[in-house]
Structure 1
Amino acid sequence: MTLTYVIDGSRVTGLERFWEVIGEAVNGPGGYFGRNLDALADCLGGGMGTPDDGDFDFEWRDHAVSARALGHEETARWLRQGLERVHPSNRTEARRRLDAAQAGRGPTLFDLIVDVLRDGTPGGLRLL
């Protein structure tokens, strides 16, 4: 039987809060399930609270609330924070992505998180 983890999108007010909400959805209060996109993808691979047989999915309720909270403004904030850590050979691309987010263009954090969840969740992702 498939185990469904419920992400309460009404509780997502930004990226840091998203990490708390998904951590609690999978591992209970104070639970961890990634603090960046790469870690989220790793957690989806197993061993971080999901069933060993990989029979699980996600249901993201009130996803439209999360989409607004993880929109271009939050994406630009996240990209700005990471700009100083970007390898010099990638700074031009990082700056282009930041400029696009500040102009309200390009993928948002919500889009990136949805992509990771869709690609890595065996049972899939339902946006409600």
Structure 2
Amino acid sequence: MTVTYVIDGSRVTGLEQFWEVIGEAVNGPGGYFGRNFDALADCLHGGMGTPDDGDFVFEWRDHALSARALGHEETARQLRRSLDRAHPSNRAALRRRLDEALAGRGPTLFEQLVEILRNDGPGVLRLL
């Protein structure tokens, strides 16, 4: 039997809220299902609350609201935060990505999350 996890897009007002919403969708209040892209990809491979047989679906309801909240502005905000902590050898690449986000170009956080959910998990993503 397929398990459906609902991501309530109306609650996603930024990246931090996304981590809370997906964690609660899979593992209940206060639940964890990643706090960064790599951790999310790892969680999708099982053992973190999803069925071991991979028979699950994510329904991202009101995804258009999330797409706006996780757009270029939030992407730039997160890149600024990363820039301060980045290894010096990675700062130029992060600065280029930040400049792109500030110009309204390049992948948004929403697009990156959708890609991970579609490509790294055995489940299905439905954008509603």
**TM-score class, shorter:** over 0.9
State how far apart, in whole Å, the 1-side matches of 2:114 and 2:101 are: 17
State how far apart, in whole Å, the 2-side matches of 1:120 and 1:7 are: 17
Helix, strand or coil at the partner of 2:5: strand
State how far apart, in whole Å, the 2-side matches of 1:123 and 1:113 are: 14
Seq. identity, %: 80
Deviation at 1:93, TM superposition (A): 1.2
User: What's the TM-score, normalizing by structure 2?
Assistant: 0.96
Deviation at 1:85, TM superposition (A): 2.4
> Contact 1:57–1:121 at 8 Å: present in 2 too?
no
Match of 1:84 in 2: 84
Q: Which amino acid aligns with 1:19?
A: W
Which stretches in structure 2 are left out of the alignment for 5+ residues?
Answer: none
Match of 1:64 in 2: 64
User: What's the TM-score, normalizing by structure 1?
Assistant: 0.96
Helix, strand or coil at the partner of 1:84: helix
Deviation at 1:4, TM superposition (A): 1.1
Q: Which amino acid aligns with 1:48?
A: M
Alignment of 1:100-115 (within 5 A): 100-115=100-115
Alignment of 1:1-128 (within 5 A): 1-128=1-128
> Contact 1:2–1:123 at 8 Å: present in 2 too?
no
RMSD (Å) for aligned C-alpha atoms? 0.9
